[in-house]
Amino acid sequence: MIMHLNRKLIGVVVGALAIAAVIYSWQDIISERDDYRFAADHQRFRAEILLHHQQFQREQIKALNRAMAKREQTLGELADDLSASIVALEQLGEGDEQAREWLDSDLPVGVADWVRELQRTEGLDAMRPPSSPATPAP
């Protein structure tokens, strides 16, 4: 009878240990599953952040490309204007040898300033010679 009780007791203990092992394994599996879910959620969140950052960078690149295109257009226009001005100045210097000699000669300060002013202003006031201390302005 004691043998029989020992067998039953051993069976109960083995059964209890088996149930405990199953419960422990089950908890371990559930814990791993939760860890994997957390890691997956974290990776999804990172992926969303990276996608938003990538979209922001694309918008920045588009804005920079538009600015660079506008800059290139402006530089092209300025280069065209500069080329036209250089051609006009070369033609002016080649066509009027007397004017070039006069401009290359030493001029009184008042005359050089008056010539510069003529180039900047338009109208009849620009035709008046500069006033000097010796000659009062009209």
Confidence of residue 128 (pLDDT cuts 50, 70, 90): low
Per-residue pLDDT at 126: 47
Instruction: Tell me the per-residue pLDDT of 51-67, one tens digit each, with 9 for 90 and over.
Output: 999 999 999 999 999 99
Alpha carbons within 13 angstroms on the beta-carbon side of residue 116 total 7
Q: Which comes out higher in pLDDT, residue 1 or 29?
A: 29
